[in-house]
Amino acid sequence: MKRIFLGMCFGMVATAGFSQQAARMELNTADAKTTISRHIYGQFSEHLGHCIYGGYWVDEKLDVPKKDRIRLDVVEALKKIRIPNLRWPGGCFADEYHWRDGIGERSKRPKMINTNWGGVTEDNSFGTHEFLELCSLLNTEPYIAGNVGSGTVEEMSKWIEYLNSDGESPMTQLRKANGRAQPWKVQFWGVGNESWGCGGNMTPEYYANEFRRYATYARNYKGAPLKKIAAGANSGDYNWTEVCMKNIPKQMLWGLSMHYYTIPTGKWNQKGSATKFDEKEYFNTMKNCMKMEELVTRHSAVMDKYDPEKKVALVVDEWGIWTDVEPGTNPGFLYQQNSLRDALIAGTTLNIFNNHADRVRMANLAQTVNVLQALVLTKDKEMVLTPTYYVFDLFKEHMDAKLLPLQLSSPDYINGSEKIPAVNASASVDAAGRIHITFVNLDAKNAITVNTTIAGHTAGKISGRILTSGKFTDVNSFEHKNKVVPTVFKSFKKNGAALSVTLPRLSLVSLELE
């Protein structure tokens, strides 16, 4: 049994006296002070495999609705879940991408080899204008990662000028010549990516100096003050965070990133299958997923030393499950199926981010289409929405709502000699006073009833939706697209301030209390 106190964080201490199938939770509407940034629900799309080419950007002859070559059924699906931002062009690709190769007449754009992902030819037909048109169609904010690894200060500075300046200059004239009169006013700007690895194999001290140099020439233009994001730590490299927070002036920083992937086996050379795994591997995957709580807590603690007012955001701009690729696919394309297990990972991770909303103010799932933990899979004319897509649909009402800190006592989910908390949750209250609670029950065997007290809220209308399926390996395939989809949920009772909710095994539940 674990007693989990969720204030602004998600911690665990042991307790006793509760049934293995019961949990308790307390909320108080008077505690709603911190805003859950909508940007926690951001997405990431890299020039990798069929995310861009064959995902968003399709052949002119493909018989699907499109604008130019942007696939509109994918756009409409993402609009329904109101994705708040989209990170591009990478990832590792960002630090070999030279933006001028991707502007102007497409037939004249130079080709290149994508050395990070499969060694395929990149024709640069999808570049700056195409990406920002995609963002416009999605009604989402662009988040661009600039090239520090193989680029120059001048190159990054002039890209920003091309995007955001409305003055008289060679870059604005070039933009206008390429068909865009008004600046786009892009604000989210990544200064490099994974500079500890594929972005240059730098030391944190060297990167901090490089950030200061690049950021100096990353100018603000009228109506577009940049939100500069430093390339932060790999997983538990707390020294990287320490050095960056110590050596980079806070006025230069909007955010500091951190990357963490859930690996089912914990081994990068043999990660595990996306669809064929037993309960032991499922449990191990969920245990590895929950490490995000420790990472966010400890990186936040380092940041607090240098930024006690929490002005600098922790930006988890790559997260999700990473498995072995599907058999028969290009290993450099990172194509994997998406199961109920992945949905439970997404829900658990988003609950963690919500509960750390005082510091985590941006995050980006890797990746949106056809790569890693994708929301959407495409095959020629067909499209399928994955279980993870529906998690973002269930959770979207938390965006820009006020966090309701929780006190949660959860039973354990036990596998062999190991155990993890079976239930996790987050809650918020929106501008209209509606309370939204998202629960996840990770237990593969037991339904769990959560007895909740909500101080400051009287009985009213309640509605709910649930995402679950018979097996944690269940997927939505092109043959069976609706195997794992949300349905109406009614297993709850409300009596005054008391709420009782029974969560089936392997389930995600979203409640709205009016």
DSSP structural state of residue 510: E
Between CA 323 and CA 277 the distance in angstroms is 11
Between CA 97 and CA 127 the distance in angstroms is 10
Q: Helix, strand, coil: what percent of the chain each, to 5?
A: 30, 30, 40
Catalytic residue, from 96, 194, 210, 293: name it.
194
DSSP bridge pairs for 455:
28
Note the Cα 428 to chain centre separation in Å: 19
Helix (H) or strand (E) holding 229: strand 227-234
Between CA 193 and CA 143 the distance in angstroms is 12
Backbone phi, psi, residue 496, to 5°: 65, -125
DSSP bridge pairs for 237:
none
Other CB atoms within a 10 A radius of the CB of residue 63 amount to: 9
Contact 435, 428 (CB under 8 A): yes
- Residue 27: HSE in the Cβ half-sphere, 13 Å Cα cutoff: 27
Tell me if residue 318 is catalytic. Answer: yes
Q: Max Cα separation, the chain? A: 72
**448, amino acid identity:** I
Helix (H) or strand (E) holding 282: helix 279-289
- The pair of structure tokens assigned to 489 is 């949920």
Backbone phi, psi, residue 352, to 5°: -60, -50
Catalytic residue, from 46, 122, 210, 318: name it.
318
Secondary structure (3-state) at 494: strand
Other CB atoms within a 10 A radius of the CB of residue 216 amount to: 11
Contact 369, 356 (CB under 8 A): no
CA-based end-to-end distance of the chain = 32
Contact 320, 372 (CB under 8 A): yes
Tally helices (H) and strands (E) across the chain. Answer: 10, 29
Active site residues: 194, 318
